[in-house]
Amino acid sequence: MPIVDAVADIYKALADGTRRALLDELVERDEQTLFELCSRLALKHDLTLTRQAVSQHLDILEAAGLVEAERRGRYKFHTIDTRPLAEIAERWPTRKADA
């Protein structure tokens, strides 16, 4: 996958509110499973999605390089990687509209 597409994936990944909520949860605690993240979305964010929907979101986050997943036995643990986000801040240097 070309770099350009990978970068585009980061922005698309952040475009969805549910995925941003997932990143919020993963920043609070690493190594969470799909079921853990499902229940946390429901409890703390009032997002009642099916397990598959959350799984698809995690796939997108993983493709964008924002989440790493590791399977251990029956469980799959998800961890956030915030490094790709630095590119966003650096792309458009600070420039204020007025003054």
Q: Tokens 């799959």 label which residue?
A: 76
Token pair listed for 22: 């997932």
Question: Which of its own copies, DNA, none interacts with 99 (beta carbon under 5 to 8 A by kind)?
Answer: none
CA distance 17 to 19: 5
Token pair listed for 39: 């229940």
Closest CB to DNA among residues 11, 28? 11
Candidates 17, 53, 54, 57; binder of its own copies (CB under 8 A) is 17
CA-nearest of 22, 23, 27, 24 to 38 is 22
Site for its own copies in 26-85 (CB under 8 A): 27, 30, 68, 79-83, 85
User: Which span (10-18, 36-44, 46-54) binds its own copies, by CB under 8 A?
Assistant: 10-18
